[in-house]
Structure 1
Amino acid sequence: MQHRTSRRSLLTATAAVAATAATGTTANADPRSPGHDPDPDLSRQLKRLVSHMSIEEKIGQLFVMRVYGHSATAPDQVDIDANLREIGVRNAAELIATYHVGGIIYFTWAHNTRDPQQIAALSNGIQRAGLAQHTPVPLLIATDQEHGIVCRVGYPATLFPGAMALGAGGSRDDAYMVGRIAGAELGAIGIRQNYSPDADVNINPANPVIGVRSFGAESAAVARMVAAEVRGYQSSMTASTAKHFPGHGDTAVDSHTGIPVITHTREEWERIDAPSFRAAVAAGIDSVMTAHIQFPALDPSNDPATLSHPILTGILREELGYRGVVITDSLGMQGVRDKYGDDRVPVLALKAGVDQLLDPPALATAWNGVLSAVRSGEITEQRLDESILRILRLKQRRGLFQRPYVDVRQVGRTVGTRAHLATADRIAERTTTLLVNRGALLPLSRRRERNLLVAGADPASPSGTTGPPTTVLAKELTGLGFTTTVLSTGTAPAPGVIAAAVAAAAGKDAVIVGTYNIQAGDAQSRLVAALLATGTPVVQIAIRNPYDIAFLPGVGAALATYSWTDVELRAAARVIAGRAEPRGRLPVPVQRADAPTQVLYPVGHGLSY
């Protein structure tokens, strides 16, 4: 049918969707609305558009794919053969023309996010390629902009504290504002779907993949923060995504490299994991991302949740009443590849109830796997249409049919504005958590503790940083009137590095030392012990997970920032200097290192000046 239809009539169908959407009611429609269509005219127009698509175009709409480079029409400048090697195309425009993909995901490592103006131009190029197809459909461009430790769009965009930091702040107004501003900035550069917020409840301190990406360990508190951030995003033109359903917070295996197993009972799932997803659905979440985890109490087949019909259709859609888009986590992760081949995984995901298939490792294999399933009758064309209509409704709600392009010249009016940056700084101050303050060591005085050594871990920097943590922290303290010496000691300081730190502490009035996920007996704890032995007062900052203090009983003062991005380190410096009050309260408990079943600092702990 598609090839007998003129392009003029197809353009008319696309325009009709935009016109109906502009005058219809679905821009703010609740995707959970049971059993009725809030805008029959728009639905008819969308169905007409779908009817013009070939099977190949329909399959393409289901895929959200990575692509290398900062331009839609040129190869990647950093690795000119990256697209050919991994995808078999030269650039984004060729990817869209060949596979008709419905979405693109941006990554920093794929060189998509150099600066806001470049990102906006790339987005416009992608939309031009989408609307140049035989059946013209705008693309849904997405990214992971969780803030905190997971950011793809960096400076000069506004970077906010991450989820656990916001959980420490406890303000739903702040969570809403993060969603609203982040959504507006992403929308201004053409990104209309953000894979945030993380709705997992992190009750396992050893969780290697969630941790500070979660708002905390208490289900009700997490649910409140998730709902607030979702409402913030929904007030902008960028779709939000609750992840990772049915809950990734109690895992000890990273699903990037293995298959985690959740041992919760059904009753525990209802009490611990479900509330935040229920809250997201109630707030009108646009999309829900699946988890590559086994959850025997919900599905005894041992299929990962991404491929589980009982979990995605039985629980998410039927029990929770969710009617929006379901997207997989990356199909390149090992957690979803262990049991089935890359050609079968997307087919099984669709049969489970998924709509969008995210970033398969080999697009041709995945795409052809779905095509074969459709041709054999394993997946019906009607089943494809159900998902495509949900995807098109999402694109319409986020304004893509009406306004597919962004104004590159106006990006600076929204992205990284002075008002947005000031809001991020104020929010960060409300998240910094003071755990220990022996002898009222903090705040430091420029007269009493003028000369400081700033040392510690400098892990690889996320996009929300302008430099190593020690450098950023020292720069801010210097601006506040202190004299600073910087020494990066790394996450595994060797004996020689520890000796250098001890020498550098000589004559200093205090030492600020950043720690990064300390484990029992590791070198960072030996570094801190050596610094304490000098007699110089030591202020420790946990720059990722807040559990480090359990291994450092002798420090004079201890702070938790929940990340090492600039905005959180600047706030920590202002707290250290007494320019801001430490207002954060632990959103997770800290257990004793020598007795993990006993709580050292409970949820809600936090000191003030």
Structure 2
Amino acid sequence: MLSQMEERLTSLSLEQKIGQLLVGQAEGTALSESFRRFIERVPLAGYRINGPNIEHPAQVKKLTSDIQQAYTASGLDLPVIFACDQEGGVLSVFGDCVTEFPGSMALGATGSIELTELQAQQVGWELAEMGINHLLAPVADLNLEKTNPVIGVRAFGDDPAQVASHCFHFSLGANRGGVAVCAKHFPGHGNTAADTHVGLAVNHATEEVLRQTEYVPFKKLVDGGIDSVMVSHVVCSACSSLPASLSEEVISGLLRQEMGYDGLVISDDLSMGAVRNLYSAGEAVLRFILAGGDIAFIHDSRDSVEEAFYRLVQAVEQGELTEERIDTSLKRILRFKQKIAAYQQSRKLPSISGEELVRQIAERSITLVRDPRRLLPLSPDTKLLVISPRLSDLSEADTSSQQELKLAAYVKQAFPHTVCVELAPDEAEQALAEFRLQAAEADVILQGTVNAYRFPEQIAVMKELAKMRPLIAIMLRDPYDSELIPHDVTTLATYAATKQQLATLVRQLLGEVACMGGVPVRLARP
């Protein structure tokens, strides 16, 4: 007698099976007739939902519901995967549609796995309300390279055991909130100095070092039955000469056989430069499947998805890919789809509100790195010059440009004698003369920084102004800026420029709230 899963497999055509090996990018904010016809022609496993698909929660709920109904109407009555990158902090695709959390490194700075679990549960609940069922988080990378252009504060930290613990509890919380999760970016993207959105990134660590560091969080999640694992396009030279997403040694060898993972393996976006500079969409997807992967994610265009779909059909016809191999992945995919339906049905609302939760995270994460001149707390009568950086997206995995930086506004509310200016890195030299004039009228200068290793002009301005007046540096993103900031400058880390982090920072400047956070990465000079 056939099991329910085996019956479902036998009921699918070859084209329907191949469609389940692909996730594409949703189109628009509503289901168009053109998109509906595409769904009928190429029935994918699901779609990623991101910025261009999002207006407000009710609209997203209708979009996901309409897509699911379109599948049912076409005769494919399987749950559709709706995936998103809602990590919090610098990668928050839902913006103000959901609770604004500061991201992974802020949670690492709290030292509290309880807060991590509660945040993930709140995120899961809010996503499930909109029909989203696959959260592409937690980030299980260790940020071991301070010039890393794409991970940074998206990681919980750099300590293997601590990151593993936060990731595990994040997974528990998100599942309880109603969504499946994904450990990314296997086998680790945190020890690279390049961005795989653009080109190849290579991790040169030895096998011994990898086992002691970057593999640790993934192994804990695998042992805990993580719903899915995303394989990156990083080349781990100790494992393979290929990007991990195309490597049989990494997927079938390291992840499947050695670590014992038999759950869903998905690719990072196969339209990213690290892969697409080498292979077409169709060839990249075929290589990922042959290497042991289950679902290939392609986010650039409908054309790329169709190319990949028909290349897989061709591969079966030409004997490059067997239907038996496809069925192996289909069993994992169907099990995963059963899980997302179960999470949706059993979800639970967190015990505290999102507003209270972000307040607690802010108070326990913001870190006073040093205050050698004992400038803090400040009097409300202090005359401040506030220099705010201009926020921008530092990679494709970044939504910072969508944030309104409220640093100056919040400071001015608490300190009436405040002058506010903005600093763009490419305008630093021209701005310095004006800043000197304004600094002459101030008692203290407050300067925000964003990733000074990439934009050192910020530090050049700071060094000049610190000669004139006492200066407080606010690291709004990566805490590695501390290594470049003059050692006699009071320095704080917020790890994110979210509204609650900045509102709490101002209260800490006034001495109303203590700074309780600890930097979760090692600094060459605190």
TM-score scaled to structure 2, two decimals?
0.93
CA apart distance, 1:385: 1.7
Q: Is 1:246 matched with 2:187?
A: yes
Q: How far did 1:555 drift?
A: 5.0
The answer for the alignment partner of 1:96 in structure 2 is: 39
In structure 1, C-alpha distance between the alignment counterparts of 2:443 and 2:222, rounded to whole Å:
52
Structure-2 residue corresponding to 1:12? none
SS of 1:317's equivalent in the other structure is helix
How big is the shift at 1:254?
Answer: 1.0
Q: How does 1:493-572 map onto structure 2 within 5 Å?
A: 493-519=427-453, 522-535=456-469, 537-553=470-486, 555-572=488-505
Tell me, what secondary structure is at the counterpart of 1:146?
strand
Q: Which amino acid aligns with 2:246?
A: L
Query: Following TM superposition, by how much is the alpha carbon of 1:557 offset from its aligned partner in structure 2, in angstroms?
Result: 1.2
Q: Could you tell me which residue of structure 2 aligns to residue 366 of structure 1?
A: 308
Q: Is the 8 A contact 1:138 1:401 kept in 2?
A: no
Find the partner of 2:5 among 17, 36, 46.
46
Given that 2:369 and 2:493 are in contact with CA atoms closer than 8 Å, whether structure 1 keeps it comes out as yes
SS in 2 for 1:439: coil
Shift of 1:173: 0.7
Hey, what does 1:17 align to over in structure 2?
A: none
Instruction: Give matches, 1:359-508, under 5 Å.
Output: 359=298, 361=300, 362-399=304-341, 419-447=353-381, 449=382, 451-460=383-392, 467-469=403-405, 472-480=406-414, 482-508=416-442
Residues paired across the two proteins, number? 519
1:174 aligns with 2:106: no
Paired residues for 1:2-151 under 5 Å: 44-73=3-32, 90-91=34-35, 93-108=36-51, 111-151=52-92
Kindly provide the CA deviation profile for residues 11-35 of structure 1, in whole angstroms up to 9, marking residues without a partner as x: xxxxxxxxxxxxxxxxxxxxxxxxx
CA contact (8 A) 1:464 1:566 kept: no
Deviations 1:108-148 (A, max 9, x none): 1xx11122121111111111112112222221100001111
What SS is found at the alignment partner of 1:235? Answer: helix
2:159–2:520: 8 Å Cα contact kept in structure 1? yes
1:573 is matched with which residue: 492, 496, 506? 506
Cα distance in 2 for residues equivalent to 1:557 and 1:97: 60
- Letter paired with 2:28: G
The offset of 1:414, in angstroms, is 7.3
Percent identity between matched residues is 33
- CA 1:480–1:419 in structure 2 vs 1: closer, same or farther (change >3 Å)? farther
Cα distance in 2 for partners of 1:402, 1:576 equals 42
AA at the equivalent of 1:311: V
User: Secondary structure, in 3 states, of the residue corresponding to 1:223?
Assistant: helix
* Rounded Cα–Cα distance in structure 1 between residues aligned with 2:402 and 2:234: 35
Q: Is the 8 A contact 1:266 1:298 kept in 2?
A: yes
- Whether contact under 8 Å (2:178, 2:344) holds in the other structure is no
Opposite residue 450 of structure 2, the aligned amino acid is Y
Q: Is the 8 A contact 1:441 1:556 kept in 2?
A: no
- Is 1:165 the counterpart of 2:106 in the alignment? yes
Instruction: Report SS of the residue matched to 1:240.
Output: strand
| Equivalent position SS for 1:398 | helix
Partner of 1:351: 290
Secondary structure in 1 matching 2:365:
coil
Q: Is 1:259 aligned to residue 200 of structure 2?
A: yes
Deviation by residue 1:186-243 (Cα, 9 ceiling, x = unmatched): 1111110011111011111111111111111111111111111111112221011101
1:329 and 2:288 aligned = no
SS of structure 2 residue aligned to 1:190 = coil
CA distance, structure 1, for counterparts of residue 69 and residue 225 of structure 2: 30
CA contact (8 A) 2:178 2:345 kept: no
SS in 2 for 1:161: coil
Name the CA distance, whole Å, in 2 between partners of 1:182 and 1:169. Answer: 18
Conservation of the 8 A alpha-carbon contact between 1:175 and 1:229 = yes
Unaligned runs of 5+ in 1: 1-40, 75-89, 407-412, 592-599, 602-609
